[in-house]
Amino acid sequence: MKITLLYGTETGNAEMLADDIQAELEEAHEVACENLEDFAPTDFEPGCFYLLVCSTYGDGDLPASAQPFAAAMAAETPDLNGIHFAIFGLGDREYETFAQGSEKLAALLASHGATQLGDRVVHDASGDDLAEDLAFPWAQAMVELAEEKLSQAA
Amino acid sequence: MTGQIAIIGTGPSGCYLAQALLKAQPELQVDLIDQLPVPYGLVRYGVAPDHQGSKGVIRQFARLFERQGARFFGNLTVNDQLSLDDLRAAYDVVVLAAGLSGDRRLGVPGEGLSGVFGAGRLVWAINDHPDAMALPDLGAHPVIMGNGNVAIDLLRLLAKTPSELDGSDVGASVGDWLANSGIESLEIIGRSSAEQAKFDPVMVKELAKLTGVSIEVIGAAATSDDPAAARKLAALAEINGHGSGPRRITFRFGLTPVAIKGDDRANAVHFRTETGDDQIIPCSAFVTAIGFQDQGRLDRETLLAQAEDIQVGKLAAGLYATGWFRRGPQGTIPENRGDAQALAKRILADLAPMSDKQGAALFASHPDLVTYADWQIMDAHEISAPPAGRCRHKIKTRAEMLALGKASKELL
């Protein structure tokens, strides 16, 4: 299956995780990995499954590299019906705005008609788990789910 | 492309620069030099010990040394054990990412009294920095001058109850010092008005989690037309009146310090209000958290004054600067990442590697040089058996750090 990882990052942690997920999935799939700041709303393709990795910054805001994408979505109002995505969030439970960046990004895609597969999974930087220990099984499960859904759609 | 690049400083700026260089050109030899025997600079010794999530960037930086071929040379002080000129002669490129470690001075009478402390020195002591002063007696009523994130970090740590430090890497003696501080009140004072304060709103909101305090905010406007200012004011309004604990926290704004009073020890600070009135605030210690400055070893002022392109950080042929060392003490970790990424592009555009550069051979015979493998031994030691409620037990002295590194070599 064709997969594109999109990451929104501020300190680089989400970028590193997206790179690692790409390496993990690459053996069995065709996987691209792009920074959201280099991705335009018109780049979405219905035949591709999108895995998003997004941190949170400041006061529960989207991270810097997701902000130009959010602005472009607002300006271009693309129709994302038929686009499937799943999303993984990075956050820090020390703050009350825990993982709101990924929540906002998921809502943004859904508001333009895209379909979210699975629940948003979130890693807590102040917790004991490593992000990849949550993210690798999540990515595998989401890809399996997408294989079912996208073949039904086709 | 080959080429040898030395980066002075292994804090976020130096590490992000190495990352950006190696991502673009994996064949480069990138050597990171630090005057401490341990890497990561302010991530280890500046980011607050109860903000472990923010220290997560270390996992990115570790990858530089573990997978990307960068080398760590610790316990090596440039312009002490070797000169900057010699280093420039040995490398194609040298980058100054040494940060700013000195406390900026307030410049008022009485600053030399005992009981007056720069925030940087206090942060070092709280973080078990090997060059830190002994933990000072702050008395029952410390006053903090400054409205940046460093001031808020200190306020929060001094206000915390022992159980609120669970999960941190606060050391045993620091934990005892905090638990027995006897602090009854903490005042935090800004020279400017609340809407111009430099702290991040999320740092202020975090104070609403403190269980042992009661918070009062005096003299903040209700709202502002400027969205950034409005968020700060909203955060202050949110914490105003928080809690009924015994430790009183008071925020005050618009107070310019005029003089620090006291016979041998500071016992009050004389301020001028925005309307020109005098206001005396008693204190048992006065902590100035008003920014950082260069400590002089790398002659920053001269280098910056002669810089070829200060905007991107090119000082001269083959010599560059990034992070706080270039910009001054503003901006958090992500801003230093952006700075480093922009500089990496410029360095790669300029780079013309010479084959006769000796690189790390210049200092490889230095007796107490610390490598990344040595640091891994120290790191494993620190996290192997931390005390209850702590994620790490930091090694406190250079001697212990070096001894652990040496012991690891003797085992081989």
Name, in order, each residue with C-beta under 8 angstroms of A74's C-beta and a sequence gap of 6 or more: none
Q: What residues does B260 pair with on adjacent strands?
A: B269
Q: What is the mean pLDDT of residues B61-83?
A: 97
Closest CA of chain A from B247, distance in Å: 21
The pLDDT score that the predictor gives to residue B51 is: 95
Half-sphere exposure at residue A132, Cβ-oriented, CA atoms within 13 angstroms: 15
| Cβ atoms of residues B43 and B14 within 8 Å | no
pLDDT-based confidence at residue A28 (cuts at 50, 70, 90): very high
Taking residues B9-32, report their average pLDDT.
98
- Asked if A58's CB is within 8 angstroms of B200's CB, the reply is yes
Q: Which of B19, B59, B201 sits opposite A59 (nearest CB)?
A: B201
A19 touching B (Cβ < 8 Å): no
d(CA B104, CA B318): 30
* Percent of chain B residues past pLDDT 70, beyond the cut: 99
Q: Is B186 exposed, middle or buried (0-12, 13-18, 19+ CB in 10 A)?
A: buried
pLDDT tens digits for B172-226?
999 999 999 999 999 999 999 999 999 999 999 999 999 999 999 999 998 999 9
Contact B322, B97 (CB under 8 A): yes
Q: Is the pLDDT of residue B407 over 80?
A: no
Nearest to A13 among B52, B60, B338 (CB): B60
Q: Which of B106, B82, B80 is nearest to B31 (CA)?
A: B82
Check pLDDT > 80 for residue A154. no
Query: pLDDT category, B260, cuts 50, 70, 90?
Result: very high
Phi-psi region of B169 (alpha: psi -120 to 50; beta: other; left: phi over 0): alpha
CB pairs under 8 A between A and B: 54
Q: What is the mean pLDDT of residues A18-35?
A: 96
A97/B334 Cβ within 8 A:
no
Nearest to B206 among A12, A57, A94 (CB): A94
Nearest chain B CA: its distance from A147 CA (Å): 32
**CA distance, residue A56 to nearest chain B CA (Å):** 12
Q: Note whether A140 contacts B: Cβ–Cβ < 8 A.
A: no
Closest CA in chain B for residue A123: B53
Task: With CB atoms and an 8 Å threshold, state whether B334 touches A57.
Answer: yes
Pick the range with the lowest mean pLDDT from A88-92, A124-128, B240-244: A124-128
- Could B337 and A11 be called an inter-chain contact, meaning their C-beta atoms sit closer than 8 Å? yes
A132 touches chain B (CB under 8 A): no
Say whether pLDDT at A96 is over 80: no
Q: Tell me the residue ranges of DSSP E strands in B83-184.
A: 93-96, 102-103, 116-118, 142-145
The arrangement of strands across the sheet holding B256-261 comes to B256-261, B268-272, B278-282
In percent, the amount of chain A with pLDDT more than 70 equals: 99
The answer to whether B202 contacts A60, with C-beta atoms less than 8 Å apart, is: yes
Which is higher by pLDDT, A97 or B124?
B124
pLDDT at res. B410: 63
A92 in contact with chain B, both atoms CB, cutoff 8 A: yes
8-state DSSP, B23: H
H or E, element range at B389: none
**Residue A95 to residue B202, Cβ atoms within 8 A:** yes
Distance (Å, rounded) from C-alpha A130 to C-alpha A124? 9
pLDDT above 60: residue B341: yes
Q: Greater confidence, A61 or B12?
A: B12
pLDDT of residue B412: 52
Q: What string of DSSP letters covers A12-81?
A: SHHHHHHHHHHHHHTTTSEEEEEEGGG--GGG--TTSEEEEEE--BTTTBPPGGGHHHHHHHHHH----T
Residues of A in contact with B51 (CB under 8 A): 94
Q: Is the dihedral of CA B159, B161, B164, B170 positive or negative?
A: positive
Nearest chain B residue to A124 by CA: give it: B53
Question: Is A126's Cβ below 8 Å from some Cβ in B?
Answer: yes
Using pLDDT thresholds of 50, 70 and 90, give the confidence band for residue A127. Answer: confident
Distance CA B201, CA B235 (A): 6
Number of neighbours of residue A96 by Cβ within 10 angstroms: 14
Which of A59, A96, A98, A100 best tests the B interface by mutation, with the highest count of B CBs <10 A? A59
- Interface contact flag, B56 A125, Cβ < 8 Å: yes
Contacts of B364 (CB under 8 A, 6+ apart): none
Q: What is the pLDDT of residues B293-337, one digit of tens each?
A: 998 899 999 999 999 999 999 999 999 999 999 999 999 999 999
ipTM of predicted assembly, 2 dp: 0.92
The minimum CA-CA distance between B108 and chain A, rounded to whole Å, is: 34
Determine the residue among A95, A100, A124 to mutate to test chain B binding: the one whose Cβ has the most chain B Cβ atoms within 10 Å. A95
Which residue numbers of B have CB closer than 8 Å to A's CBs? 16, 19, 50-54, 56-57, 59-60, 63, 167, 200-202, 205-206, 208, 231, 235, 333-334, 337-338
Judging contacts by C-beta atoms under 8 Å, the chain B residues touching residue A13 are: 56-57, 59-60
d(CA A49, CA A4): 6
Which residues of B148-205 form beta strands (DSSP E)? 185-189
Has residue B8 got a pLDDT over 70? yes
Contacts B53 to A, Cβ<8 Å: 92-94, 124-126
Pick from B51, B208, B338: CB nearest A94: B51
Cβ of residue A113 closer than 8 Å to a chain B Cβ? no
At A53, the pLDDT band (50, 70, 90 cuts) reads very high
pLDDT top residue among A48 and B296: A48
CA distance A89 to chain B (A): 14
